[in-house]
A and B are shown apart, each in its own frame.
Chain A
Amino acid sequence: EPEVTQTPSHQVTQMGQEVILRCVPISNHLYFYWYRQILGQKVEFLVSFYNNEISEKSEIFDDQFSVERPDGSNFTLKIRSTKLEDSAMYFCASSDRGVDEQFFGPGTRLTVL
């Protein structure tokens, strides 16, 4: 059964460094998302992406964040200059139609020291 994959599973970085979190969505899906979950808090929406552009972003998704679909299969989230408060689990998701089930990856745990 097709599934969403994410790499790495755990990323440790120093404050101020750039990180790229990678996701491979399900191949025929058209809608892509990033969410994050800070430990002990709710899952929060970051950004949705459709037709090679951002369709919506939350207040969290400031200029330090960017997304890209560089090659038609990968979907990446870049954080330009990480802060301590960026430490969280980051989930990628994809869906065939926007209102349908979103399929989630296993997450990347980002730790910023």
Chain B
Amino acid sequence: AQTVTQSQPEMSVQEAETVTLSCTYDTSENNYYLFWYKQPPSRQMILVIRQEAYKQQNATENRFSVNFQKAAKSFSLKISDSQLGDTAMYFCAFMKHGSNYQLIWGAGTKLIIKP
């Protein structure tokens, strides 16, 4: 069975700083997808970034980038030039290819951006 671990329950940084959220996962699969979702306070979860395991290049979306280390089963999220609107719960999730697309979730990291 697959598991996803987020070891940082809460983090806080000053606005404009860079922050890295860690995520590790355990799987014997070779083909899978990894996701970071953001859940702002009292709002729905939205996708931040998606990585396909067969792609060696790390995914980037504007200020958000990942460090995908397949051998180490690590998938960290880096947020550059953090903004107040980045304050949210961040969830790392795993999807096995051909699994009928269920997401397996980490426990989440509460990120607070301080002004």
Contacts and interface: CB of A to CB of B under 8 A. Distances in A.
Interface of A: 3-4, 31, 33, 35, 41-45, 48, 50, 55-56, 58, 91, 95, 98-99, 101-107
B46 to A, nearest CB: 7
Given A43-B91, A56-B100, A106 B43 contact: yes
B21 to A, nearest CB: 16
Q: Please classify how large the interface on chain B is, using the bins under 10, 10 to 19, 20 to 34, 35 or more.
A: 20 to 34
Contact of B50 (A43, A50, A101, A106): A101
B50 A55 contact: no
A55 B108 CA distance: 27
B44 A4 contact: yes
A45 B103 contact: yes
A45 B104 contact: yes
Please provide the 9 A-B residue pairs with the shortest distance between their CB atoms, ordered closest to farther.
Answer: A56-B100, A98-B101, A43-B105, A45-B102, A104-B45, A55-B100, A101-B47, A106-B44, A104-B44
A103 B102 CA distance: 13
A43 to B, nearest CB: 4
Interface centre among B95, B97, B100, B106 (most CB of A within 10 A): B100
Contacts of A4: 44
Given A35-B103, A104-B45, 5 more contacts: A43-B105, A44-B105, A99-B95, A104-B37, A106-B43
